[in-house]
Amino acid sequence: MATEMNTYYFRFNETQRFYFELGSNFIANHGVLSLRTSYAANEGITYTGKQIGNLNIIDMDVSPGDYALTIHQHADSQNYCGMYSLRGILNLYSTEAQ
């Protein structure tokens, strides 16, 4: 069962490299990132982060528009923990292409 913990909203006027990682050292519960191409809950396309060890990562180029980044907690047991580290980097695509 997944619990939505927090949502962050972004609006980009230019294409961006979107890199966010969510980490936890707890084995029983995992945090998962999802990036939605719309602010509305049931609209747009949703991308789910890739799990690499204790990190859940979204690394992609996104076009101009509105985005919602949501942290989900997936519980495998009755022990819940909300201690995660979240790190993000946003770079203009035009500065990387040069």
Query: What is the pTM for the complete model shown?
Result: 0.80
Q: Which helix (H) or strand (E) holds 95?
A: helix 93-96
Q: Architecture of domain 2-96 in CATH? A: Sandwich (2.60)
Distance CA 66, CA 2 (A): 24
**pLDDT for 37-87, tens place per residue?**
988 878 899 999 998 888 899 999 999 999 999 998 876 655 555 567 888
Cα–Cα distance for residue pair 51/41, rounded to 1 Å: 23
Question: What's the pLDDT score for residue 23?
Answer: 85
DSSP three-state, residue 94 = helix
CA distance 43 to 7: 15
Q: Which residues contact 83 (CB under 8 A, 6 or more apart)?
A: 24, 26
DSSP 84: -
pLDDT at 58: 96
The pLDDT value given to residue 1: 52
Nearest Cα residue to 56 out of 22, 7, 84, 89:
22
